Structure 1
Amino acid sequence: MLKVLIVILMFAVVVSLFSGLFFLLKDEGKTQRVLNSLIVRVSLSALLIAVILLALWHGDLTLNPTP
């Protein structure tokens, strides 16, 4: 379940990235939608990092010691 949440958050970050690109090309900087997309993307990225760190701290995720 945790890995599914991480994948969903990553997908949401990518969607936000491309929506920002779309708004940048369509609006040509005349609206605040690009800024809003950036705020959403940064917030989702911070949430993703927090979920990963929390999962590592609780032991739900483990780092691979041998590559």
Structure 2
Amino acid sequence: MLKAAIVLMLAATVTSLFSGLFFLIKDDSQSTRLVKALALRVILAALTLALIAWGFYSGQLVSHVTW
């Protein structure tokens, strides 16, 4: 369940990234949609990092790295 939430948050972050690119190309200079897309992307990235941290803290995500 946690892994699915992380993948969903990453997909939403990428979607926000491309919507910001679209707003950058198509909107005029007075529009605030680009700033809102950037703010949303930052929030989504922070939530994704928080989910990953929570997963490691709770033991739902483990690292099998041998080093």
TM bracket, shorter-chain basis: over 0.9
2:20 is aligned to 20
The structural deviation recorded for 1:52 is 0.4
1:41 is aligned to 41
RMSD (Å) for aligned C-alpha atoms: 1.2
Runs of 4+ in 1 over 6 A off after TM superposition: none
Unaligned runs of 5+ in 2: none
The structural deviation recorded for 1:63 is 1.2
Provide the TM-score with structure 1 as the length reference. Answer: 0.93
CA–CA separation in structure 1 for the residues paired with 2:66 and 2:41: 32
Provide the TM-score with structure 2 as the length reference. Answer: 0.93
**Per the alignment, in what secondary structure is the counterpart of residue 45 of structure 2?**
helix
The structural deviation recorded for 1:51 is 0.5
- Structure number with the bigger relative contact order (C-alpha 8 A, sep ≥ 6) is 2
CA–CA separation in structure 2 for the residues paired with 1:33 and 1:54: 31
Percent of aligned positions that are identical? 45
